[in-house]
Chains A and B, each alone.
Chain A
Amino acid sequence: MEDLKAPSIDYAAVAPILILFGAACLGVVVEAFVPRRARHAVQLTLALLATLAGLVVVITQASTRVTTAVGALAIDGPAVFLQGAILVLALVSLLLMGERKLEPGGAFVPQAAITVGSEADERQAARAPGLTEVYPISLFAIAGMLLFVAANDLLTMFIALEVFSLPLYLLCALARRRRLLSQEAALKYFLLGSYASAFFLFGVALVYGFVGAVDLASIHTAAAESDRDPLLLYAGLALLSIGLLFKTAAVPFHVWTPDVYQGAPTPVTAFMAACTKVAAFGALLRVLYVGFNGLSWDFTPILGVVAVLTMIIGAVLAVTQTDIKRLLAYSSIANAGYLLVGVLASGERGLASTMFYLVAYGFSVLAAFAVVTLVRDADGEAGHLSRWAGLGRRSPLIAGLFTFILLAFAGIPLTSGFISKFAVFAAAMEGGQTWLVIAGVISSIVLAFPYLRVVVMMWLSDPSDATPTVSVPGVLTTAALAIGVAMTLLLGVAPSLLLDLTTGAAEFVQ
């Protein structure tokens, strides 16, 4: 038996992942040793610093194009770009999570395991400061996402999937208000997510059965050269896709999204909507573009149908929603469809436009949820849309910002929404996927309706007694909101900078 050699690892390239994992572990230690009073400040600072440090390192790695850790990780253009995107968006999400001014003790429950509705529960809901474990948990999730977009073999990818999913399941259960809804959301997300993960693993097994390896380069070679019946490979890809599409919230694997988005604490929802989407699409891009690009003729029609269904169903169902978080959830589903159009556009432009879309959408959706956290009454956030009627009269500034974000979602020019939609549609046209573009435009038309309805409602209805007030946001939420809105505008007016970045990054290494 020959000696095993320790794999050589390019530590500089994987440093962002290591920093985040390290900070997460440190966070656990902080939880144990720092006095309760100081914990929140310490944890938040630690999380922000770690994310920032990760971001700085990612930026220094901008031109790295290597595979490392025996080919398990590929730190290439898309990986570095998406890692940067995840870190920036996560930074903004952390700001939202750290807000404690809107609600005494923050958006998170102090003790998640206390029986809901018991006296102890009511007491803790009223005043106790929220869990500070959310920061290390979030850091684990972020680290998992960083790993996920860089994973170059299916097993590493699976591990990363679990590493970022499990913390998310937990985070969903931690809402301070509406505990049962939150717990139900977490349970649903967990159970369905477990199934999706199982499918992914099943798919890995099938692919391994065909290829005899799990790294994407071997899959690519085997798909191109093997003369065996590739049905096993197709089945494997199908199951892998189920796992990934579940995380991206594509139809028909979207059913969890509205319930989970609604039940989870809003900062966590924002985090999921922005960062999870980036991570999931990053992995999907890598699997399809690196491992299975030889099969694109075979999978494009099927994934195309998924994309069309996702866009149409997301848009149509958004029409009837009466809860703002559910509305945003369906919007997020429809946006997953547009992203899929970018993915299927294939080629460098498809990749670049998808990455641009991810970042642009991430900022907008963070800003949208930031507004959702602000509009509240005595019972917490006022989610029901009828309560938003007349908000424009009460709080013109917030309603104005939200209107701007909604117009961005609707794809109106001079917002990032227009540029990103245009970019993916143009790429798809170029890639010969006209039918996807047609479906995309039709669904955009339908989807514009619910957004515009909210706009009309905010500005044209008279405020009633039920119209909630807009709380004065603390520094953190203000910063998050400002960043989200500013980026939505900036990417709508002067997107060239980011487009250059995405175009420069749009090449995978094998």
Chain B
Amino acid sequence: MLVLLVIHAAVALIAPALVRAIGGRGLYLVALAPAGAAVWAAAHIGRTATETVEWIPQLGLSLAFRLDTLSWLLVLLVGGVGALVLAYCAHYVGDRGEQARHAGLLVAFAGTMLGLVLADDLLLLYVFWELTSVLSYLLIASDPGRRVARRAAMQALLVTTLGGLAMLVGIVMLGAGTGTHRWSELAQSPPAGTWGTVAVVLILAGALAKSAILPFGAWLPAAMAAPTPVSAYLHAAAMVKAGVFLVALLAPAFAGVLAWQLLTVGAGLATLIFAGLAALRQHDLKLLLAYGTVSQLGLLVAVLGAGTRAAALAGLTLVLAHALFKSALFLTVGAVDHATGTRDLRKLSGLGRRLPMLAVAATLAAASMAGAPPLLGFLGKEALFAAFATGEPADTAALIAMVLGATLTVGYSLRFLWGAFGTKPGVVPVEHPHAPGPGLLAAPVLLSAAGLAGGLAARPIESALEPYPLMLDGVGVHLALWHGLSLPLGLTVLALAGGYGVFRLTRDRVKSEKISAGAWVYEQALRGVDRLAVELTGATQRGSLPGYLGVILIVLVVIAGTVLAVGAPWPTEFRVWDTPLQAVAGVAIIAAAIGAVRAQRRLAAFVLAGAAGYAVSMLFILHGAPDLALTQALVETAGIVMAVLVLRRLPAKFSERPLRASRRWRIVLGVSVGLAAAGMAFVTSGGRTATPVSERFADLSVSYGGGSNIVNVILVDIRAWDTMGEISVLVVAATGVASLIFQRTSALRRRAETPAPKRALAAWTGKEDSVIMQVVTRLIFHTIVLFSIYLLLSGHNAPGGGFAGGLVAALALTVRYLAGGRRELNRAAPVDAGVVLGTGLLIAVGTGVGAMLLGGQVLQTAIVDIHVPLLGDLHVATSTIFDVGVYLIVVGLILDILRSLGAEPQPSVTEETSETQEQDREKVTA
């Protein structure tokens, strides 16, 4: 069996090239593949076979095939009809490219269908199932010019793919319930209970979707946009039969489940009647057949789903009959279309006389469809009526529906014949039809003849199909043309007579443009999802950063808030303050923060944020950490100055105020985040159980670090590696700032040479240079620098240190710059910032390396007591040298920022531009 599939795959691959090379005749060669499958099936009549090849053992997927009666029948149909349709295609309209495409796809489709009906592993079945969806999509979509075709293809693909996914879940559930995906094993012990029911309902959803049963029926008529031979194959013999096949496959195991009965028999019969009624309103012959197909599929699903022995035989017979007559009729429509250029029964008249051969074939097929003796359809219908004539209420109700359906079937069969071949008064007869050649006639004639032959061969057919019904319980029936004067015969006569009446009544009706319920649901579902998506996108994906951040923050508040509220280990002891002054600082921080948020001017916001920082430094002082406080205050100052330099380029006020509504929720969110973060910090600080590592620092900093300022010793000794990392980052950042501001080094160089724009301060204050300020700053400058050096050197034991000292020196430079602009700055620090930075880093690294060279650890501190005459004893720790490096780097950083941010980059860009343009012009002229 695997060989068959491989052959189909290979043929599908070479078919397009073959047809392109030798034209339509190549299709005959291509048809050999499905024909081979049919022959193979014919040779295996009454036999079973299995074949298993491992595929993905890790997932329990194997290429397991088995042949039994059911799959045998389907292989015969798929192969036989497939071969005929391919041969028909050789004569059907279409350019060579299209034929080539169809050839490949049709063979691939035939192969996939074979795989589907032969698969024993349900997962493998699913694989083929989805492949048929994709391939059918490609086949339906082969007429891309039309919007209708596009939508139809989309709809067919969506409905069947989605149904398939539901089916996959069902299959997986079956597998999880029983531990195997092999149907041959599953059928022995199908899972019972709710689990099994849910699984089988899901599988049924897939099957019903594929066979266009209500409520999924809408896609099949829409798919009629496909070329007629494709419809003949997919929508009569092959794809739609997949769902019927699955129902038949599962029926022996699940027919006893109530939900199964409701879904198959109930939905099937409803489909039978509604689609039958719809077929009576069509004027496009193909659509008429399409609705007829939907109706018949409903019947098949209902019969096979019923799961009794008699119904099973009737069902299989009908499957065979339906495939034969429906594909014959579709191919007839193709021939009619080919001959006259229309499929509209309102325009066709008198064709029967012109194309007698075709008319006879179509009549035979339609008669089989109507269930008239002595055709195969009659056999099936007789058996069907017999199977349900048990007298039980449920069966009787089903029987009534079936008779009704059969009546409608007769009605639309007659409508079809009359529409295609009848002579209608008032319609100009088709005079010169483009008569179809033998190639186009062969297939419908053969298929119709097979229907007739089947009707006459009741016994052989019954014996071939028998093993399947025997798997089911109940009384059997026999296929026969003559059962005697029985109820079924009476019902058949009733249906035929009633059908004629229906035909006469509805003959001149044409369809109203009402959309069917299924189509409505489909449209609404699509629209609903679309709408939901648009709304959700509009609500959540505005591209607004605050919005995005809000989402993340909300999650934080929810999580943290829940944890805090539900019962975080709150500290039992709660001390309000050590000194009321802390409360003052706290209030100041809050006030400054609120002010900063409310500020409309950028500068005010920055200054207020800085004020909050000063208040924090006050808290540090109150906690007894003057060193931290000093550093904090200095950083705030430097930060404000830098901010001012940047703000010069921005508008004075914040550009956009958020709307009131959004402002409110922003406030709520901000406050909540603040509370959550504070709560977490509070809880965690109270939750500490281990001894803080810093407790030993106090002793260590004196004994090893040689200093009594713990903060400083931590920075330059205990955590010297951290500091080393940080100052490296600082140097990198300084370099980055400079190079970002002056995109090119050349610009940087030029900037250093050209005189700075005067009145840097004036650029944003609008005031002229203040001479007094210049003088004052010059006066105090040296004092401040001296103070900074004092801070640096004394930092080891007293508040201060390299960082604080560096900041003080940098602020001194900043003041000079603010007072007199770049010239003053250059005069105060006639060095390149890069040199300062580099020297600082070199000193810091040198200290570490020096310690190592002298036999210590990297960055180990040595304490040296030097006696300097006159000054007295100098107590020096080598880490102070490291601190010098820090000092220089801080100074260099600020210098760098002042020089880059303080300059005006905008003119430099235009300058450069004009210059390069000139160069360009020179090049051009040269």
Contact = CB atoms under 8 A, between A and B. Distances in A.
Contacts of A407: 134
A199 B559 CA distance: 12
B680 A202 contact: yes
Interface residues of A, number: 82
Given A229-B569, A413-B130, A460 B559 contact: no
A461 B150 contact: yes
Contacts of A392: 144
A11 interface: no
A429 B176 contact: yes
Contacts of A1: 700, 704
Interface stretch (A14-22, A101-109, A254-262, A336-344): A254-262
A115 B740 CA distance: 11
Interface string B556-594: 100110010011110000000000000000000000000
Given A120-B909, A430-B176, A320 B534 contact: yes
Contacts of B554: 252
A115 B700 CA distance: 53
A313 B153 contact: no
Nearest to A430: B176
A209 B548 contact: no
B599 to A, nearest CB: 21
Given A231-B563, A232-B569, A437-B169, A499 B59 contact: yes
A246 B145 contact: no
Interface in B136-193: 141, 144-145, 149-150, 153-154, 157-158, 161-162, 165-166, 168-169, 172-173, 175-176
Interface string A438-461: 100100111011001100100111
A352 B59 CA distance: 11
B684 A232 contact: yes
B549 A192 contact: yes
B743 interface: yes
Interface stretch (B228-236, B489-497, B685-693): B685-693
Contact of A460 (B150, B568, B683, B704): B150
Interface string B667-699: 000000000000010011001111000000000
Interface in A243-269: 246, 252-253, 255-256, 258-259
Contacts of B162: 445, 448
A267 B188 CA distance: 54
Nearest to A123: B916
Given A252-B551, A429-B176, A503 B58 contact: yes
A238 interface: yes
Nearest to A210: B687
B471 interface: no
B165 A441 contact: yes
B684 A206 contact: yes
B58 A496 contact: yes
Interface string B905-923: 0000100110011000000
B56 A111 contact: no
Contact of A120 (B149, B683, B690, B912): B912
A112 B722 CA distance: 31
B57 to A, nearest CB: 7
Contact of B141 (A187, A412, A460, A500): A460
B541 interface: yes
Interface residues of B, number: 76
A290 B534 CA distance: 40
Contact of B556 (A199, A206, A448): A199
B529 interface: yes
Interface in A123-150: 123
B126 interface: yes
B51 interface: no
B536 interface: yes
Nearest to B744: A111
A115 B563 contact: no
B874 interface: no
Contact of A118 (B172, B552, B913): B913
A456 B173 CA distance: 32
A70 to B, nearest CB: 16
B690 A232 contact: no
Nearest to A195: B552
B743 A192 contact: no
B730 interface: no
A256 B549 CA distance: 9
Interface string A402-438: 0000010011111000110011011001100000011
Contacts of B650: none
Contacts of B551: 252-253, 255
A242 B169 contact: no
Contacts of A413: 126-128, 130-131
Interface string A90-123: 0000000000000000000001011100111001
Contacts of B846: none
Contacts of B529: 316, 319, 446, 449
A234 interface: yes
A25 interface: no
Given A206-B684, A413-B131, A452-B161, A462 B59 contact: no
Contacts of A155: none
A228 B917 CA distance: 72
A238 B153 contact: no
B93 interface: no
B537 A317 contact: yes
Interface in B280-338: none
A234 B563 contact: yes
Interface string A69-81: 0000000000000
Interface string A294-314: 000000000000000000010
B56 A499 contact: yes
A159 B541 CA distance: 30
Nearest to B739: A113
A503 to B, nearest CB: 6
Nearest to B140: A460
Contacts of A419: 56, 59
Interface string A195-216: 1100100100110011010000
Contacts of B916: 120, 123
A118 B555 CA distance: 41
A236 to B, nearest CB: 10
Contact of B543 (A259, A425, A453): A259
A113 B173 CA distance: 57
A437 B172 contact: yes
A239 interface: yes
Contacts of A231: 563, 566-569
B530 interface: yes
Contact of A496 (B56, B144, B556, B912): B56
Given A316-B532, A460-B153, A414 B684 contact: no
B684 A209 contact: yes
Contacts of B534: 320
Contact of A459 (B144, B568, B569): B144
B56 A195 contact: no
B854 interface: no
Contact of A316 (B536, B560, B688, B700): B536
A235 interface: yes
A495 interface: yes
A178 interface: no
B913 A235 contact: no
B375 to A, nearest CB: 39
A188 B548 contact: yes
B522 to A, nearest CB: 12
Contacts of B150: 456, 460-461
Contacts of A34: none
Contacts of A180: none
B692 to A, nearest CB: 12
- Shortest beta-carbon contacts, A-B, top 10: A320-B533, A413-B127, A460-B150, A255-B548, A319-B533, A499-B58, A235-B563, A460-B144, A238-B559, A445-B162
11 contacts: A199-B556, A212-B689, A228-B569, A229-B569, A313-B536, A317-B536, A426-B172, A430-B176, A441-B165, A445-B162, A456-B153
